[in-house]
């Protein structure tokens, strides 16, 4: 009979082999990540660093250090304050609506309902359809002579100039929801499908009702998903300039004049100092909101533990 002999390497050699493998693995990872890191640095980090530098200068060419003068002038601007207030109002209304509606739709699509697969596909379509082409349809709907006003007139109601009155704000919110709700529904569906069915069956046997199961099981296990959805919804709420610009142009109604409009107009007029100062303040606001959400999520986890 053959006897198999297993040789065991000394501990020192095993450690050296493991360290050599780790160095090779790290080198391979760095090699594949280098193009992405370089692209992120060239197109994001370096431009933002230059913007931060310009925001403290009196001019982009030969300008000296101006301290916080650009920021004081920016905060004293009525246009900037109006744009900031509209952006915050839009996020405060749009993000909770997005969260609630996407969760409700995900709960419905997670059940065995009629045409469930087709409905899932329909919510993904806004993510792949070009916005510029879809905006033409929205304009046909909300124009003075559009489909919606025609329907209102048939029921004896007065026409509404949607894009030139305060109603423009709600039009942009509807477009924002339509554009981004499908992505959040997919995230919530993935989270719902990871919850073990045994938990619901056990809770039902113990007498827990649907409301108790929803708050005690569903929302608890969707904490991480909800946190990510809220962050992405906030970021997307600061990116509605494209849709608003295509709907209403450079100078829309005051209710939908956003921070991106202000920065775009500063770029057209080549007021780089105000542009960069506004960009830095917007990044600081988003960062503060995200860090605050991280803190709330951490406290919630500690409370649940």
Query: pLDDT tens string for the chain (305 positions)?
Result: 444 444 444 545 544 554 555 666 777 778 888 888 888 888 888 888 888 888 888 776 666 787 888 888 888 888 899 989 999 999 999 999 999 999 998 888 887 666 666 666 676 777 777 777 778 888 888 888 888 888 888 888 888 888 888 888 888 898 889 888 888 888 898 888 888 888 888 888 888 888 888 888 888 888 888 988 998 898 888 888 888 888 887 778 888 888 888 888 888 888 888 888 888 888 888 889 888 888 887 887 777 66
Residue 19: per-residue pLDDT? 55
Distance CA 144, CA 150 (A): 9
User: What global pTM score does this model have?
Assistant: 0.77
Q: Which part of the chain has CATH 1.10.3720.10? A: 77-304
Residue 1: per-residue pLDDT? 46
Residue 117: per-residue pLDDT? 67
Distance CA 79, CA 88 (A): 14
Residue 96: per-residue pLDDT? 93
Distance CA 107, CA 113 (A): 11
Distance CA 89, CA 259 (A): 12
Residue 113: per-residue pLDDT? 63
Q: Which CATH architecture has domain 77-304?
A: Orthogonal Bundle (1.10)
Residue 108: per-residue pLDDT? 85
Residue 98: per-residue pLDDT? 92
């Amino acid at each position: 009979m053959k006897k198999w002999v297993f040789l065991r390497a000394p501990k020192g050699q095993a450690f050296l082999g493991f360290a050599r493998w780790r160095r090779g693995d790290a080198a391979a990872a760095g090699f594949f990540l280098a193009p992405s890191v370089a692209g992120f640095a060239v197109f994001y980090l370096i431009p933002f660093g230059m913007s931060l530098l310009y925001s403290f200068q009196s001019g982009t060419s030969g300008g000296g250090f101006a301290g916080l003068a650009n920021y004081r002038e920016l905060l004293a601007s009525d246009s900037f304050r109006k744009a900031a207030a509209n952006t915050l109002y839009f996020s405060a209304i749009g993000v909770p609506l997005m969260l609630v509606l996407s969760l409700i739709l995900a709960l419905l699509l997670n059940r065995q309902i009629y045409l469930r697969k087709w409905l899932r596909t329909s919510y993904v379509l806004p993510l792949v359809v070009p916005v510029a082409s879809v905006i033409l349809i929205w304009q046909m709907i909300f124009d003075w002579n559009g489909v919606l006003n025609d329907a209102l007139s048939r029921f004896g109601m007065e026409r509404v100039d949607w894009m030139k009155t305060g109603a423009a704000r709600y039009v942009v919110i509807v477009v924002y929801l339509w554009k981004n709700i499908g992505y959040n529904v997919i995230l919530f569906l993935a989270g719902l499908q990871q919850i073990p069915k045994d938990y619901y069956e056990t809770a039902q046997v113990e007498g827990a009702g649907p409301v108790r199961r929803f708050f005690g099981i569903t929302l608890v296990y969707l904490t991480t998903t909800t946190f990510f959805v809220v962050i992405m919804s906030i970021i997307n709420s600061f990116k509605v300039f494209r849709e608003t610009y295509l709907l209403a142009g450079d100078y829309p109604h005051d209710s939908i004049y956003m921070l991106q409009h202000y920065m775009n107009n500063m770029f057209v007029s080549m007021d780089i100092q105000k542009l960069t100062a506004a960009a830095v303040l917007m990044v600081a606001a988003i960062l503060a909101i995200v860090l605050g959400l991280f803190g709330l999520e951490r406290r919630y986890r500690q409370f649940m533990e």
